[in-house]
Amino acid sequence: MLDSLMLLAALLVCAAGMGWFALSMDVHWEQVRGKAPHPRALVKTLRVLGAAALFVSLVLCLAVDSASMAVLVWLMAVAGAAVAIAFTLTWRARALSVLVFWAGPARR
């Protein structure tokens, strides 16, 4: 049970990480946040957050399974997360605003 929850967490954190990476790109930022400013410092923060999230997700995978299996789970989770974020950007882009909840309202 705990293992399943940890793996679920790994998937969610992984998706958040890919979401942050996407938000660090101008095109996707605009899709999600409209004309809200996208300063360089924020871009950097988003990238750091993205990398940290992917790392945390890997650690969670390693905590559940042996290293050889955990690496496979993590690589596939990254792929799944990337697809999920890409499709969210296509059809429900604004939903990703939750990932930058501290940055104030979007501007359209």
Partner 1 sequence: MFQNFRLSMAWLHTWFGLVLGFVLIVVFFFGAMSVFDREIDRWSIPASRFEPQPMPSFDKLLRPIFEDMQPLEPARAAMRDHVNGPLPDKFTVPSSWGAYTTHRDPVLSLFVGYEVPNAKLPETNIFALRTVDPRNGTALPDDRLKVGSGFFYPLHYSLTLEWKNLGYWIVGFAALMMLVGLVTGVVMHRKLFRELFTFRPNKSTQRSMLDMHNLTGVVALPFHFFFAFTGLVIFAGIYFPVAHTQLEPLHEQHEVIDAQKTGLPHDRAGVAAPIASVDAMVAEAQRRWAAKGMAGDVGFLSLVHVGDRNGYVSVYRAGTDRIALTGEGIHFKASTGELLREDPPPTVVGRINEFLTGLHLQHFRHWLLRWLYVLGGLLGCVCIATGFLFFVEKRKRQHAKQHSNGARLVDALAVTTVTGMLIAALGIMIANRLLPDVMPAGWPWRGDMEQYCFWGVWALAMAHAFWRTAPVAEGHLAPAWREQCLAIAVLAVVAPVLNWITTGDHLLRTIGNGYWPVAGIDLFMLTSAGIALLAARKLKQRVAVDAHANVTRAEVNHA
Which residues of this chain interact with partner 1, rule CB under 8 A? Answer: 7, 11, 18, 21-22, 25, 27-28, 65-66, 68-69, 72-73, 75-80, 82-83, 85-87, 89-90
Tell me how far apart the alpha carbons of residues 83 and 101 are, in angstroms, rounded to a whole number: 22
Q: Which is nearer to partner 1, 83 or 104 (CB)?
A: 83
Residue pair 39/17 in contact by the 8 Å Cβ criterion: no
Q: Which is nearer to partner 1, 8 or 104 (CB)?
A: 8
**Rounded alpha-carbon distances, angstroms, from residue 44 to 4, 21, 41, 85, 107:** 32, 10, 5, 19, 21
CB of 27 to partner 1, least distance (A): 8
Which of 9, 1, 2, 5 lies closest to 74 in space, CA to CA?
9
Q: Which is nearer to partner 1, 49 or 89 (CB)?
A: 89
Q: How many CA atoms lie within 13 A of 48 on its CB side?
A: 6
CB of 44 to partner 1, least distance (A): 16
CB of 41 to partner 1, least distance (A): 21
